[in-house]
Amino acid sequence: MDLNEIRMQIDQLDQSILHLFEQRMELCQQVAAYKKAHHIEIFQEGREAVIMERIGKAAQPQFMHAAQTLFSTMLDLSKQLQTQMLTQEEPIPQFSIPQFSAAQKIGCQGMEGANSEQAAKQLFPEREITFFPTFESVFEAVEEGKIEYGVLPIYNSTAGSVTATYDLLHKHSVYLAAMTTVAVNHCLVTRPGLSLDEIHTVYSHPQGLSQCSDFLSHHNLIGQGYSNTATAAKLVADSDAPIAAICSENCAKLNHLQILAQNISNVSPNYTRFICITKELQVDPNASIISIMLTIPNEPGSLSKLLEKFYIYNLNLDRIESRPIQDGSFGVVFHIDFKGNLNDRKVAAFLNSLCKFCMNFKLLGNVVVQ
């Protein structure tokens, strides 16, 4: 046979496979109707294991793994169809709505002039902001009810993830209520009268130093990590030493510092995304990003199966991060953002499927990105 004849046979087989697949899915709908009538769980682990074992034995040895992969995907599609059918008539859950306009107790890490303050004021204009010394103290204040909302950085468009925030989301029982983005204009600042040639050490938050690493390297400057950009600016203002800080233009003005260079980020424009955390789950009706946190079995194909679920449910993955669980096991926890709203029944079915698949699962929130 020539190539065209072989392809014609493949096309004919594809049509047969498609017809059989549709027949199988129609039978799955009947299974779902039966399960609903008899109050049976959708996921039957024993049944799935029997099918996979049978396929493994029936397939030719060289195609065994491929055949099991194919049928594993078909079983996932079957569960997706059944879950959506069974959740179609369930009542839509009711969620508390964020009360940003009425909130009075707002907190962030740092001090006046910090980028976190700007993010907090974007979400809560004309409100007094309480400052905390560390990221964790913001989380603790939210958990203890000392503040209603806390604002923290989570991702920068140049330097990537703020890993400390991700780790604290795993450690503390809080939810995301909103996200907002701040345009970051990093400046090199020092006391009036000093020149760039006199500076050797530059203080800033590690993220600020990372975002401006090209500038520091070009001028042979040594970066020194500090709690945040605003406190670094205050350190420079209070010191007699020939040191500098990386901070915002507003922060420089507040501390009466001179700006030696502006827009020194490696990449321009440079943005930082901030999250707003709260004690209870609150969902804006217009929320468009869902954040979850989960762990998966440590076995071949687990991550592939996880990502495949987004494709099966036609959901757009926005971000995925992995962080060590920090229990000595070398295990990781995945933080995932995807587009969707919790009032969508398809999303409810998807989350139900994830809960069955994952070892540990937590819904972090459903937010509007401002």
Taking Cα atoms as reference points, which of 103, 133, 113 lies closest to residue 276?
A: 103
Domain boundary (278, 308, 328) is at: 278
Instruction: Give domain status of residue 168, yes or no.
Output: yes
pLDDT in tens, 251-288: 999 999 999 999 999 998 889 999 999 999 999 999 99
Q: Which residues of the chain have pLDDT under 50?
A: none
Strand duo 129-132 + 106-109: pairing: parallel
Question: Within this chain, do residues 4 and 70 fall inside the same structural domain, yes or no?
Answer: yes
Q: Which residues are catalytic?
A: 272, 274
Residue closest to 350 by CA, chosen among 360, 359, 332, 363: 363
3-state secondary structure of 104: coil
CATH number assigned to the domain comprising residue 222: 3.40.190.10
Coil, strand, or helix at residue 159?
Answer: coil
pLDDT digits (tens, 9 = 90+) for 110-128: 889 889 999 999 999 999 9
C-alpha–C-alpha distance, residues 256 and 189, integer Å: 10
Do 126 and 171 belong to one domain? yes
Tell me the pTM. Answer: 0.84
Q: What is the DSSP string of 309-348?
A: HHHHTT--EEEEEEEE-SSSS--EEEEEEEE--TT-HHHH
Contact 88, 33 (CB under 8 A): no
| φ/ψ of residue 265, rounded to 5 | -65, 150
Residue 109: closest CA among 232, 230, 269: 230
Q: Is residue 329 assigned to a domain?
A: yes
The pLDDT of residue 240: 93
Structural domains of the chain, count? 4
Domain interval for residue 290? 283-370
What pLDDT does residue 220 have?
96
Q: What is the pLDDT of residue 342?
A: 92
Q: What is the pLDDT of residue 162?
A: 92
99 found inside a domain: no
Residue 316, domain member (yes or no) = yes
68 and 12 in a single domain? The answer is: yes
